[in-house]
Chain A
Amino acid sequence: MSNYLYILWIPLLPLATFVILGIFGRKYLSSIAGLLGTASLLTATILSFVAAKQYFFVDGKVNGVYQKIVALKYTWLEFAPNMSIDLGIIVDPISVMMLVVVTSVSLMVHVFSLGYMKGEERFATYYAFLSLFTFSMLGLILSSNIFQVYMFWELVGVSSFLLISYYFNKPSAVAASKKAFIVTRFADLGFLIGILILGYYGGTLDIGLLIERFTSVHSTQFLSITSASFLGASMLTWGLTLVFMGGAGKSAMFPLHIWLPDAMEGPTPVSALIHAATMVVAGVYLVARMFPVFTMDESALNIVTYVGAASALFAAIIACTQTDIKRVLAYSTMSQIGYMMFALGISKNGGENGLGYMASMFHLFTHAFFKSLLFLGAGSVIHMVHSNEMKDMGGLRKLMPVTHIAFLIACLAIAGIPPFAGFFSKEEILTAAFHENKIIYGIALFTAALTSFYMFRLYFNIFWSKDAPAASHADDAHTNDHDNHHADHGEGPWVMKLPLLILAACAVGVGFIPFSQLVTSDGAPLATHIDVVFSIAPVVLSVLAILLAASFYKNQNGKSDKVADAFGGLYTAAHKKFYVDEVYLFITKKIIFPFIGQPIAWADKNIVDGFMQLLAKITLKVSVLIKGLQSGKVQNYAMYFFGGIVVLSILFIYIWK
């Protein structure tokens, strides 16, 4: 087995950048912060491509099966034999795949930000936070111990919090960051309890050992965790469901999704990196990492399936009605992650039945590219128009040809039109769903059509809709890019266009990667083929949805308003995001605050604090009472002394004997 220790440098480089930029950035390095961050990440990206090449094509395979390699293991805290918190590096198909995804998307975002964030006051801080995020995400991917996953999980949450509230003088950004942090923290509580349950019964926190113990039906650990039950479900179900709850929080699954649309308050490249391509798929990655254990428990897997499918459909419906382009993309992200989740949920471990697992990972891979492309494209548009609202846009195709083409490619990719990347991964998911569960297949098909509809609604609204851009937009473009004398008006400097082009190339090309040969649930290659007959239904539906969107939004003809009126209540409900936020507000403000929060606050103030104050008061009273004894007169002290001797003498002589 060869040496993969150099992978350690991949997360360490961004960490070093974070430390350097965090300490010296604002004072000394603000001019080169972006270049420094980009250079360090470029090195990390090259290293991960080297690692991927070595693993996938040189020595990852033993007898045709990809091995799980622990490249580094350092025991950090040992509680009992085998029960320890380790810091390790695991190398297997999904971690190597994620390495490539995270570093390359992060690199694109770093490059794009050079143009997008130019002139920001806290430019160096921005790059420091980006590096911190990249470090945490890479650490999360490489974790070999479930507690290590948890630590990086929280670090990812913190860096997401910092980046969402980057514009900290905007109250909505501050509120959004708090919301994101609290909601995901709440989910992480479940994750922690899940870890403790699995660790308690499994007797270890090491992921490899946990999988080994919980997947053999005769091991004592497996017997003990399945025989113990709580509220009618076995502890295995509880543990896995709680772990999934953590994943659902990070991946914005219904009903813990409420933070994701608000998180769009952060800078757009950040949304592309964190809230589209990397952090939000951490939940999917977590389920995939623990997948062999999940397959041992039907009910936990069913929860994953139905939560995923419900989120996919729910978010797609909402996305059709939103007017803020980043929010449309946020709901679309949620919907696509729902796809990945239910693909995992319907999958089985190993062999031909592991198609769902492979499809889910494939979709994660392709989605990362086209969704970050969509976000970066949206970033370009926002950079030019200075607004997130669709009504401020329209007719931009002439002004922003590069963005237009890139965005169109990304839309086609997410809509699943061949030969773009999304087509291949979506086909695998649909095939898996068709074989396992017809209801899920129906939901997936309908969601696919909805996806095409809302993506092209977005596309036509931004780039077509109106004939010519309003004069103010052109002015904006000029004032905005006074330092950039490029031919096309204000599309941004080349650093903003290059990532779009690279990602567009990826969105076209990555679908052709023979993914089923590389990443599967058991490491052995899986034979898949695109069934042309099977593909007809989704593709035709998508094309129809695109044509529908075109007829509604290509020109402003008022058709869409009529349809919206026809749907009436459903449209309003979807526009208001099905009132989930309101339900949360009702539960917190009307139930939790007055009935739980206030009594606890009262108890804390009056009982806990009261007890302490009582002790203080007693001490004070007693000391006032006895302070007269300290008269300061030597002779009084001598009197007490002799009095004491007399009392002791009497005691010893007459009473004690």
Chain B
Amino acid sequence: MQEISLSQILFVSTALFFIGMYGLFTRRNLITMLMSIELMLNSVNINFVAFNKYLFPDNLDGLFFTLFIITIAAAEAAVAIAIIINLFRSHNSIDVEDATEMKN
């Protein structure tokens, strides 16, 4: 089996990042937007792991960063979902278009 090159992995992570970005910009449902953000975070994780493995195989810094990001992403998801639940209670919807009280 042929060895997977760094550029292939970077291609996947870039694709993942822009898919997340696309989702973040186009979806109106807050849960879906949260999932898109998770996608983007994960693409960054892939980058960290790949660079660590291919460029500095003797170090573990990239892996540690990945662990941190996963932890923070979990915390962030908890906070975001709490916000979303509150939003639903007050607006009866979780559509971002409905929460525009702060404009102008």
Contact between A630 and B102, CB atoms less than 8 A apart: yes
Binds A, one of B7-15, B69-77, B93-101: B93-101
Confirm or deny: A170 has a beta carbon within 8 angstroms of a beta carbon on chain B. Answer: no
Confirm or deny: A655 has a beta carbon within 8 angstroms of a beta carbon on chain B. Answer: no
Residue pairs across A and B with CB atoms within 8 Å: the count is 29
Contact between B21 and A642, CB atoms less than 8 A apart: yes
Contact between A630 and B21, CB atoms less than 8 A apart: no
What is the distance, in angstroms, from B70's C-beta to the closest C-beta of chain A? Answer: 22
- The distance in angstroms between the C-alpha atoms of A638 and B104, with both chains bound, is 17
State which of A630, A635, A639 has its C-beta within 8 Å of the C-beta of B104: A630
What is the distance, in angstroms, from B27's C-beta to the closest C-beta of chain A? Answer: 9
Within 8 A of A (CB), among B11-60: 21, 24-25, 33
Contact between A632 and B102, CB atoms less than 8 A apart: yes
Contacts of A628 in B (CB 8 A): 104
Contacts of B21 in A (CB 8 A): 642
What is the distance, in angstroms, from A471's C-beta to the closest C-beta of chain B? Answer: 84
- The distance in angstroms between the C-alpha atoms of A627 and B104, with both chains bound, is 5
Contact between B25 and A638, CB atoms less than 8 A apart: yes
Decide if the interface of chain A is mainly helix, strand, loop or mixed: helix
Contact between B25 and A632, CB atoms less than 8 A apart: no
Within 8 A of B (CB), among A608-655: 627-628, 630-635, 638-639, 642
State which of A630, A635, A642 has its C-beta within 8 Å of the C-beta of B103: A630
What is the distance, in angstroms, from B101's C-beta to the closest C-beta of chain A? Answer: 7
- Residues of chain B at the chain A interface (Cβ within 8 Å): 21, 24-25, 33, 96-97, 99-104
Contact between A633 and B97, CB atoms less than 8 A apart: yes
Contact between A632 and B103, CB atoms less than 8 A apart: yes
- Interface contacts beyond A631-B104, A633-B97: sample of 10 additional A-B pairs, CB < 8 Å, sorted by A: A628-B104, A630-B102, A631-B103, A632-B100, A632-B101, A633-B100, A634-B33, A635-B24, A635-B25, A639-B25
Contact between B24 and A632, CB atoms less than 8 A apart: no
- The distance in angstroms between the C-alpha atoms of A628 and B103, with both chains bound, is 8
State which of A627, A630, A634, A642 has its C-beta within 8 Å of the C-beta of B96: A634
**Nearest chain A residue, comparing its CB with the CB of B37:** A638
A638/B24 contact (C-beta < 8 A), A627-B104, A630-B103, A630-B104 known: yes
Contacts of A631 in B (CB 8 A): 100, 103-104
In the complex, per-residue mask of A155-175: 1 if CB is within 8 Å of any chain B CB, else 0: 000000000000000000000
Contact between A633 and B104, CB atoms less than 8 A apart: no
Q: List 7 A–B pairs whose Cβ atoms lie within 8 Å, in order of A's numbering.
A: A627-B104, A628-B104, A632-B99, A633-B96, A633-B100, A635-B25, A638-B24
Contacts of A642 in B (CB 8 A): 21
What is the distance, in angstroms, from A621's C-beta to the closest C-beta of chain B? Answer: 16
What is the distance, in angstroms, from B84's C-beta to the closest C-beta of chain A? Answer: 12
Contacts of A633 in B (CB 8 A): 96-97, 100, 103
Contacts of B96 in A (CB 8 A): 633-635
What is the distance, in angstroms, from A631's C-beta to the closest C-beta of chain B? Answer: 5
- The distance in angstroms between the C-alpha atoms of A642 and B104, with both chains bound, is 21
- The distance in angstroms between the C-alpha atoms of A631 and B102, with both chains bound, is 8
Contacts of B97 in A (CB 8 A): 633
Contacts of A635 in B (CB 8 A): 24-25, 33, 96
For chain A, the bracket of interface size reads 10 to 19
- The distance in angstroms between the C-alpha atoms of A628 and B104, with both chains bound, is 6
What is the distance, in angstroms, from B100's C-beta to the closest C-beta of chain A? Answer: 4
What is the distance, in angstroms, from B32's C-beta to the closest C-beta of chain A? Answer: 12
- The distance in angstroms between the C-alpha atoms of A632 and B100, with both chains bound, is 5
Contacts of B33 in A (CB 8 A): 634-635
In the complex, per-residue mask of A412-439: 1 if CB is within 8 Å of any chain B CB, else 0: 0000000000000000000000000000
Contacts of B24 in A (CB 8 A): 635, 638
Q: Which of A630, A634, A642 has the most CB of B within 10 A?
A: A634
Within 8 A of B (CB), among A474-494: none
What is the distance, in angstroms, from B2's C-beta to the closest C-beta of chain A? Answer: 32
Contacts of A639 in B (CB 8 A): 25
- The distance in angstroms between the C-alpha atoms of A631 and B100, with both chains bound, is 7
What is the distance, in angstroms, from A622's C-beta to the closest C-beta of chain B? Answer: 14
**Nearest chain B residue, comparing its CB with the CB of A642:** B21
- The distance in angstroms between the C-alpha atoms of A241 and B85, with both chains bound, is 83
- The distance in angstroms between the C-alpha atoms of A67 and B95, with both chains bound, is 94
- The distance in angstroms between the C-alpha atoms of A632 and B98, with both chains bound, is 10
**Nearest chain A residue, comparing its CB with the CB of B102:** A632
- The distance in angstroms between the C-alpha atoms of A193 and B68, with both chains bound, is 73
Contacts of B104 in A (CB 8 A): 627-628, 630-632
- The distance in angstroms between the C-alpha atoms of A507 and B19, with both chains bound, is 110
**Nearest chain B residue, comparing its CB with the CB of A631:** B103
**Nearest chain A residue, comparing its CB with the CB of B101:** A632
- The distance in angstroms between the C-alpha atoms of A655 and B97, with both chains bound, is 38
- The distance in angstroms between the C-alpha atoms of A65 and B100, with both chains bound, is 91
Contacts of B99 in A (CB 8 A): 632, 634
What is the distance, in angstroms, from B43's C-beta to the closest C-beta of chain A? Answer: 14
Contacts of B101 in A (CB 8 A): 632
- The distance in angstroms between the C-alpha atoms of A633 and B96, with both chains bound, is 7
Contacts of B103 in A (CB 8 A): 630-633
- The distance in angstroms between the C-alpha atoms of A635 and B104, with both chains bound, is 15
- The distance in angstroms between the C-alpha atoms of A631 and B96, with both chains bound, is 12
**Nearest chain A residue, comparing its CB with the CB of B103:** A632
Closest 10 CB pairs of A and B: A632-B103, A632-B100, A632-B102, A627-B104, A634-B96, A631-B103, A630-B104, A635-B25, A630-B103, A633-B100
- The distance in angstroms between the C-alpha atoms of A642 and B37, with both chains bound, is 13
- The distance in angstroms between the C-alpha atoms of A631 and B99, with both chains bound, is 11
What is the distance, in angstroms, from B17's C-beta to the closest C-beta of chain A? Answer: 11
- The distance in angstroms between the C-alpha atoms of A432 and B96, with both chains bound, is 100
What is the distance, in angstroms, from B15's C-beta to the closest C-beta of chain A? Answer: 16
**Nearest chain A residue, comparing its CB with the CB of B24:** A638
- The distance in angstroms between the C-alpha atoms of A634 and B30, with both chains bound, is 10
- The distance in angstroms between the C-alpha atoms of A238 and B15, with both chains bound, is 87
**Nearest chain A residue, comparing its CB with the CB of B28:** A635
- The distance in angstroms between the C-alpha atoms of A375 and B21, with both chains bound, is 96
**Nearest chain B residue, comparing its CB with the CB of A632:** B103
- The distance in angstroms between the C-alpha atoms of A632 and B21, with both chains bound, is 19
Within 8 A of B (CB), among A353-409: none
Within 8 A of B (CB), among A115-148: none
What is the distance, in angstroms, from A391's C-beta to the closest C-beta of chain B? Answer: 78
What is the distance, in angstroms, from A357's C-beta to the closest C-beta of chain B? Answer: 79
- The distance in angstroms between the C-alpha atoms of A310 and B47, with both chains bound, is 101
